[in-house]
Structure 1
Amino acid sequence: MEARAAISHSAKAPLTIEAVTLGEPGPGQVLIEAKAAGLCHSDLFVMDGGVPMSRPLIPGHEGAGVVIACGPGVKSLKVGDRVVTCAIGECGECGQCATRRTNLCEKAGLPAMGVGFAPSPHFTLNDGPVSVLAPGAAFASHTIVDEVFATKIPNGVPFDVACLFGCAVPTGVGSVLYTALVEAGASVVVFGLGGVGLNVVDGAQLAGAAQIIGVDANPAKESVGRQFGMTHFIDARKTDDITGAIRDLTGGAGADYAFECVGNIDLGPKALGATRLEWGVLVQIGACPPGRDQLAIPVSSVLSGRSVMGSFFGKSKPRTDIARMMDWFVQGKLHSDALVSHRLPLERINEGFKMMERGESIRTVITFD
């Protein structure tokens, strides 16, 4: 069948909307008609050449749509199911799916992250190969994924919100609940109030954190952050000593937890320095560009009890935890709909990324209606 897709032909070049050919779903696979896709900084990072990918490339990894066909042997989904797709999957059967120590399935975790380095088995462009950033190929009008990469969307979650549960929501909320294990009454500081950072704030309020401090260079983020539960805001452009400001807000002790959501290597040591000397935790979420990815933290800064943790996808299990988080949204416990600041058709996708670069959007969603 023919589908429409946004194609990246070279680093930093605008995406082009082109017709691609899509095959039939094989065993254990489903064909999905896209309804919405979120624009994420990770897409822009890859499109600009931050990660070596084979091209032409269909970016996009936050997708939501409807199952319109199933291949042989599909057990958990049926035609008509509303689903969200993720960059990683959850088979539910391997040893790593059975433990809370990781969210990286043996079959659909790290192995799935390499799909962008090889031509897709499902798509062709002008009879030639085309790669995808993630199995869901979210910037295409139709896609094929193994069922382990798709999670059912409960009633009450619209597609333009559901797609954000493919990355932003579980990455932020999960980093609080499953990586850091933030407890009620804790103090939290969040560096960077973009899509992921705001979800860290949302996760912190859900966990019952008593103090949630947001740090951002865009003063407009203050009002948005407070919608998600932020209690204090620090304007990074007007504050010379951010670490000192955080200590002042926490009675001189520092925050219990710090989350770096920017991907600026210089922020890591500062974020750790803003935490409690005895037990402070830095959770590194932001991905840093090649050549600027060495976190310089002196041993002396952690000997007293501080620690540094990495968090990929918030340690959220793609099917189990996303389903739980969508239920929390329906119950009014998460504020995920407030993330959507702009909605654009696929033909205006480059405009959406320009708004992201200028800091004018929280999350732009591409709609396929």
Structure 2
Amino acid sequence: MATTTQTTQLPPKMRAVQIVEFNKPHEIRDIPTPRPEDLTPHDLLLKIAVPGLCHSDLEYMKGFFPIKLPVTGSHEGTGTVVAKGSGVKNFEIGDRVLAGMTFGRCGECDVCKGPENYQHYCPNRETMMSVERNGAFQEYLVVDGREAARLPDKMSFATAAPLACAGATSWRAVLQCHLQPGEWIGIVGSGGGLGHLASLSAIQMAKKAKGLKVVAVDARDQGLALSRESGADVVLDARKGTAALIEEVKKATGGGGVHAAITVSDHPTAAETACAITRHHGRMIQVAVVEKVSIPLMELLFKDIRVSGSFMASQGELDEMLHAVVEHDIKVENNIFKGLNDVPKAVEMLRNGEYRGKACFIVDEQAVGLVPGNGYV
């Protein structure tokens, strides 16, 4: 059963931008609109306001994940609740929401009954958005209410959309370092491992929200410049080699190295570099999606580096992140496009590196708090 207070009837068809064939451009299609009466107890039906384009969408187009075609692209969705399942208690019709990527955790296993910030790891959960469930490049979208977060009043949809993936991933990785204000964090791939937002969000989140000191490591001139722009305390060029990096990090941090490091680069040696600049008994958090993580035994055995992965963020972590972005004035650089018809153009621009920041698409022009200047930051 679903409840709804809609005053207008949903259209039978809606516009969607879908992957129909791997290694081919997205197609703009008309598909059936989700129906409120079909919602399961934990579902929310959103009228999409602003979806975002993530660098991972390029990998989805290649079939990097076990994707069931056709599928609607984008796993960065924001919108307004127009209907909700009977089991949803923490959202109301009209709420402004950031969608989570995952769906259908069982609620019964040890993971689901464990700490809130690990429940989204449920081994029995269903698939993710844009894999076997449609994503946010469409006018209406069903999401799991247990994985979504309400937007703060002072946050626009355009600010929120890019935070759904890279922002959430960066935030949880910073939390997983378990550092205290004044301690050092290293970010390897700081200027673009998860895209431009990785630098802007991870560096700012670490510094502004958590009071950490940041060593940023990258191997590209643009990435190094972006890391400096984002406020890193120390910016180092990985092209100098590991030995030189270690010496520079030790000098900057008083001899020990960073207390923890986050790997957001998919370079084969990125995890090794992150461990190399981390002090004894420190942590390395792997975020970048790679086939294998390679770390020398000497780092694990003789430095006792504690290695763990971090996947997305829980509902509680999303909520904490959104409020931290507002409270600490963490900036997100967006490229605003009008409507879903611009998605294929933006995808090619992303592929060719023709813009900085994240692409967002205005789908619902009447949505409250849509863009800066109409009541929300």
Q: Work out whether residues 68 and 131 of structure 2, in 8 Å CA contact, stay in contact via their aligned partners in 1.
A: no
Which residue pairs with 1:231 in the alignment?
A: 233
Provide closer, same or farther for how the CA distance between residues 302 and 334 of structure 1 changes in structure 2, counting only shifts above 3 A.
farther
Which residue pairs with 1:81 in the alignment?
A: 95
Opposite residue 13 of structure 2, the aligned amino acid is E
Which residue pairs with 2:186 in the alignment?
A: 189
Which residue pairs with 2:8 in the alignment?
A: none
* Separation in structure 2 between the aligned mates of residue 329 and residue 89 of structure 1, nearest angstrom: 25
Which residue pairs with 2:321 in the alignment?
A: 325
Opposite residue 348 of structure 2, the aligned amino acid is K
* Separation in structure 2 between the aligned mates of residue 110 and residue 199 of structure 1, nearest angstrom: 28
Opposite residue 309 of structure 1, the aligned amino acid is S
Which residue pairs with 1:123 in the alignment?
A: none
Calculate the TM-score normalised by the size of structure 2: 0.80
Q: Is 1:307 equivalent to 2:310 in the alignment? A: no
Q: Work out whether residues 96 and 102 of structure 1, in 8 Å CA contact, stay in contact via their aligned partners in 2.
A: no
Compute the displacement of 1:11 (Å): 2.1
Q: Is 1:67 equivalent to 2:81 in the alignment? A: yes
Q: Work out whether residues 188 and 213 of structure 1, in 8 Å CA contact, stay in contact via their aligned partners in 2.
A: yes
Per-residue deviation, residues 60-110 of structure 1 (Å, max 9, x unmatched): 11110011223444422222111110112697965535544852347xx44
Compute the displacement of 1:159 (Å): 0.3
Q: Work out whether residues 54 and 162 of structure 2, in 8 Å CA contact, stay in contact via their aligned partners in 1.
A: no
Segments of 5+ residues of structure 2 without an aligned counterpart are 1-11, 366-377
Provide closer, same or farther for how the CA distance between residues 59 and 110 of structure 1 changes in structure 2, counting only shifts above 3 A.
farther
Provide closer, same or farther for how the CA distance between residues 343 and 154 of structure 1 changes in structure 2, counting only shifts above 3 A.
same
* Separation in structure 1 between the aligned mates of residue 218 and residue 268 of structure 2, nearest angstrom: 15
Q: Given the alignment, which residue of 92, 96, 117 partners 2:111?
A: 96
Provide the secondary structure at the position in 2 that maps to 1:165.
helix
Q: Work out whether residues 81 and 93 of structure 2, in 8 Å CA contact, stay in contact via their aligned partners in 1.
A: yes
Which residue pairs with 2:13 in the alignment?
A: 2
Q: Work out whether residues 81 and 92 of structure 2, in 8 Å CA contact, stay in contact via their aligned partners in 1.
A: yes
Q: Pairwise CA RMSD of aligned residues?
A: 2.8
- % identical aligned pairs: 24
Which residue pairs with 1:297 in the alignment?
A: 295
Which residue pairs with 1:361 in the alignment?
A: 356
Q: Given the alignment, which residue of 342, 355, 358 partners 2:335?
A: 342
Of 164-173 and 83-92, deviating more is: 83-92
Structure 1: which 4+ aligned runs deviate by more than 6 Å? 90-93
Q: Is 1:254 equivalent to 2:251 in the alignment? A: no
Q: Work out whether residues 104 and 110 of structure 1, in 8 Å CA contact, stay in contact via their aligned partners in 2.
A: no
Per-residue deviation, residues 111-170 of structure 1 (Å, max 9, x unmatched): 445257xxxxxxxxxxxxxxx337561111211223223321121110011223322222
Of 321-330 and 219-228, deviating more is: 219-228
Provide the secondary structure at the position in 1 that maps to 2:102.
coil
Compute the displacement of 1:343 (Å): 1.3
Q: Work out whether residues 87 and 136 of structure 1, in 8 Å CA contact, stay in contact via their aligned partners in 2.
A: no
* Separation in structure 2 between the aligned mates of residue 223 and residue 21 of structure 1, nearest angstrom: 46
Q: Work out whether residues 135 and 145 of structure 1, in 8 Å CA contact, stay in contact via their aligned partners in 2.
A: no
Provide closer, same or farther for how the CA distance between residues 296 and 91 of structure 1 changes in structure 2, counting only shifts above 3 A.
closer
Segments of 5+ residues of structure 1 without an aligned counterpart are 117-131
Provide closer, same or farther for how the CA distance between residues 255 and 6 of structure 1 changes in structure 2, counting only shifts above 3 A.
same
Of 91-100 and 161-170, deviating more is: 91-100
Provide the secondary structure at the position in 2 that maps to 1:63.
strand
Per-residue deviation, residues 11-55 of structure 1 (Å, max 9, x unmatched): 221111111112313242332111111222222222222222121
* Separation in structure 2 between the aligned mates of residue 260 and residue 139 of structure 1, nearest angstrom: 29
Q: Is 1:17 equivalent to 2:28 in the alignment? A: yes
Of 155-164 and 42-51, deviating more is: 42-51
Which residue pairs with 1:282 in the alignment?
A: 284
Provide closer, same or farther for how the CA distance between residues 99 and 354 of structure 1 changes in structure 2, counting only shifts above 3 A.
same
Compute the displacement of 1:265 (Å): 2.6
Compute the displacement of 1:252 (Å): 4.4
Q: Work out whether residues 214 and 230 of structure 1, in 8 Å CA contact, stay in contact via their aligned partners in 2.
A: yes
Opposite residue 294 of structure 1, the aligned amino acid is K
Calculate the TM-score normalised by the size of structure 1: 0.82
* Separation in structure 2 between the aligned mates of residue 65 and residue 89 of structure 1, nearest angstrom: 17
Q: Work out whether residues 191 and 215 of structure 1, in 8 Å CA contact, stay in contact via their aligned partners in 2.
A: yes
* Separation in structure 1 between the aligned mates of residue 91 and residue 247 of structure 2, nearest angstrom: 52
* Separation in structure 1 between the aligned mates of residue 317 and residue 295 of structure 2, nearest angstrom: 32
Aligned residues: 339
Provide the secondary structure at the position in 2 that maps to 1:114.
coil
Per-residue deviation, residues 191-227 of structure 1 (Å, max 9, x unmatched): 1223234322123212221x31222244344454345
Which residue pairs with 2:4 in the alignment?
A: none
Provide closer, same or farther for how the CA distance between residues 114 and 216 of structure 1 changes in structure 2, counting only shifts above 3 A.
same
* Separation in structure 2 between the aligned mates of residue 44 and residue 111 of structure 1, nearest angstrom: 27
Compute the displacement of 1:237 (Å): 5.3
* Separation in structure 1 between the aligned mates of residue 342 and residue 232 of structure 2, nearest angstrom: 32
* Separation in structure 2 between the aligned mates of residue 185 and residue 100 of structure 1, nearest angstrom: 27
